[in-house]
Homo-oligomer: A and B are copies of this chain.
Amino acid sequence: MSKYVEIASTLRERIINGEYIAESFLPYHKELSKEFKVSRMTIQNAIHILISEGLVITKRGLGTMVLKRSFIEESISRVANWNNITLSSINDTNSSKFEVLSFDVQFPILEIQNLLDINEEEPVYEILRLEDSSKLDSKLQRVIIPVKYTSNLTKTIMSDSLMRYLIDEMCYKIHCVKNTFTAIRADEKDQKYLNCSSSDPILKIDQVSYCEDGTPLFILSSHIACESSGYNYFQLL
């Protein structure tokens, strides 16, 4: 096995064992290259592995920091890094336009507080929007994002791609997106806006987007009627 892979394994164990404490810095490249008796490039390759696994982040002039959330999230689906533009993979696509059904600011319930790592006194935007239903596979989406991250959010922005706004205008770097999937029965809003009956199955996709440092940035919950449109949205087989 190559040196840098072994070094990465060693470092990974130390992180998991708590030998390197979350939110604090790893030893610097120079120290590590002394310890393992390799060149700095080899250390860097090892650390690249840990970065790609979401265990650490590095900052020039600062060091390599162990992340909080780190090794727990197995089922995380990483954002594709395509030509240096990070894009959400599923829900907030380029071309789609949204009709904003409601636009509120609220204090978050406990569930949201936990998901977004905020307290009850930090207000959040809560937006309900409907994807332009000219296409068969329209989506009903609920977006929740703390006001402190984007205090000047508008309906106009929400009728377009939120993800693109956060990346291009607000200069956030989305590091990973966690998606969870459920099938549910259509609720009242689904029936009203997605034009389906109460017995129709709905695909529910809940998405949390995280920044580079592991901070949860926003929640996007989508409802998709797969059958009522006579069209199996994500159907493959």
Answer whether residue A169 sits at the interface, using C-beta atoms and an 8 A cutoff.
no
- Whether B208 contacts A185 by the Cβ 8 Å rule is no
Q: Which residues of B contact A183 (CB under 8 A)?
A: 183-184, 201-204, 224, 226-227
Cβ contacts under 8 Å, A226 to chain B: 182-184
Contact B234 A180 (CB under 8 A): yes
A237 CB contact (under 8 Å) in B74, B78, B111: B111
> Which residues on the B side are within 8 Å of A9 (C-beta)?
83-84
A181 with B184: in contact, given A219-B237, A237-B206 (CB under 8 Å)? no
In the complex formed, the residue of B with least CB distance to A87 is B74
Contact B235 A182 (CB under 8 A): yes
- The one of B77, B89, B180, B235 in contact with A235, judged by C-beta atoms closer than 8 angstroms, is B180
Which A residues form the contact surface with B (CB < 8 A)? 5, 9, 12, 52-53, 74-78, 80-84, 89-90, 111, 115, 180-185, 199, 201-206, 208, 219, 221, 224, 226-227, 232-237
Q: Which 4 A-B residue pairings sit nearest by Cβ, starting from the closest? A: A201-B201, A183-B183, A183-B201, A183-B203
